[in-house]
Structure 1
């Protein structure tokens, strides 16, 4: 498909209607905020929630919540917003030639001409630098984990060029916070965090396969790979597998985190988290229509609630 005309006033076509960027942000800042997906907050939630899962389970693991954990939670929130913005900017820089050929992405700031590549690089560097400043307030092990996280972030935009499973690379990047937040609390990397990380990757395969079905026709034309194209009509069967894997792995993470010191009541409450999360994912499957882009986008966005569900139970377990 050809053409790269922006939508009216530079709005991005798949942004949330009436979002704060388009309504309230200074006109000069809007292209940069759109580049960071500030007008589409779901990505920040999907990056942040694994961080909060990891922190909550770490507190369940050693039964020693501290006031500094409040800063870890806040720091993760700010860092998720910044690094999601930096990562999306990097993604748009590397994908600028593809984005202009895809209906859903041609209105993004770079292909629509709102921001130059040079300006985008500067904006990406600024966001990453501020995020690094926040990271320096954590312990040494967490700082190291944060630096290592740059590798999957850097590789992800290129994954769809060489594998049918780019969503795995997205999962590696988007769920790294589960490891980082765990280490920020405990100072070490333990088995429950690794299981939680694996659960998050499976969840990412679930929601991003749904998301990728919006672009299958354009992706086929330009040669971009995805699990959506790979699975095709078999997508519901694959999503059920990812659902089961997510619930099972998160359940194992809860058991591994809770068994050392948590009470039976706390363990039961925490285990209700992945169980309830699985039901929300099953609801998404019941609504799935891979030919309806509006529904696909709505289901993808609903994964904020999917990820909040286990967090609520994890926090409740800490009070048990």
Structure 2
């Protein structure tokens, strides 16, 4: 049995102007030899996470599926942290196997004192080969905490404790080299269809975050350039009154998902009635994004558009 390790660059592998290979990266990780499973490395692409694409991550998922079919007990992907919460959620939507798919990275590169990459790699590998972590979909392992992909967020620009799950906390921990799963969330239905790069390119989704005294000019003609929109509303799902009819018109032309910009909690459905409130917006045809944050909602909507899956049913799972 083995762990399939895919490397995508990022801070965890950054040394000056260069990037460490997977072999170089794992050579600095104490404890891998005692893992009890071989680590089979595939260097995918040395790219910052800001330059990762959905198409590239779907390629990694396909390669990971082949590794599992060949006998891998689990998968680990190392990448930059900037988009890790989004890539993890993307993987969670399309990963069909019971074997764990674990993503990790680092906030301190190998040239700095106290780099966190080695500890994160060995913890991620332990989770990937643990029977306790099966059937949990995609996971993020950081600082020996185990987070479900649908809840985890990057919450600090520099801290090594940046990854948290605001609504629920971690679902497990790695303690004294043992994987302890404390909660087993029900695995939701993922995206059923297969998204091709051309389909993704043809189904761009915009993300619009509301701000005080918002003029809404960036929403003008949006239906001509995008196939969907995610709105990061104030609080429980509110927008300025003057933008409510604009969003209603957009919702008549394409799917518009309503989320909260706050970073935790759900939008509500039946509390406020004024123009621009959640009741008003949902009556105008916007889709309830539930507990999904705007970034994950955008990933899901774009996948659904690219695969022609049922958008309403998919988002209903997060309400």
Question: Whose relative contact order is higher, 1 or 2, with alpha carbons under 8 Å and at least 6 apart?
Answer: 1
Tell me the TM-score normalized by structure 2: 0.24
Structure with more strand by fraction? 2
Tell me the TM-score normalized by structure 1: 0.24
Structure with more helix by fraction? 1
